[in-house]
Amino acid sequence: SQQGEEDPQALSIQEGENATMNCSYKTSINNLQWYRQNSGRGLVHLILIRSNEREKHSGRLRVTLDTSKKSSSLLITASRAADTASYFCATAEETSGSRLTFGEGTQLTVNP
């Protein structure tokens, strides 16, 4: 069963706009991670946010975590065509040991 669910499933924006993707999950977690996947390639790690953190930044990326609502968001500011990719959240559940559970992803298209 899927732990994380991303919303929206697909997002199309213009270059320079901000893109926001959301992830909801069901059980208590140790941390939540965001990954990017370009077409035909493997996943690339973007950010890890621990359960006791509320916000984290990395360059143009901003991730928030609300454990009371069991949700997270990924904001990409000033998007570029090169940001076109699928974005996945992955949760490390408290009871899952070494395993991550991935959502189905958001397909982001940034139009030049």
Partner 1 sequence: DAGITQSPRHKVTETGTPVTLRCHQTENHRYMYWYRQDPGHGLRLIHYSYGVKDTDKGEVSDGYSVSRSKTEDFLLTLESATSSQTSVYFCAISEWGGAYQPQHFGDGTRLSIL
Token pair listed for 107: 């397909």
Binding site for partner 1 (CB under 8 A): 2, 30-31, 33, 40-45, 48, 88, 90, 92-93, 96-105
| Residue with Cβ nearer partner 1 (84 or 106) | 106
- Shortest distance, position 101 Cβ to partner 1, whole Å: 8
- Shortest distance, position 23 Cβ to partner 1, whole Å: 11
| Residue with Cβ nearer partner 1 (71 or 107) | 107
| Residue with Cβ nearer partner 1 (1 or 112) | 1
Phi, psi of 81, rounded to the nearest 5 degrees: -55, -30
Measured between its terminal Cα atoms, the distance across the chain in Å is 37
- Shortest distance, position 21 Cβ to partner 1, whole Å: 14
Give the CB-side neighbour count of residue 92, counting CA atoms within 13 A: 12
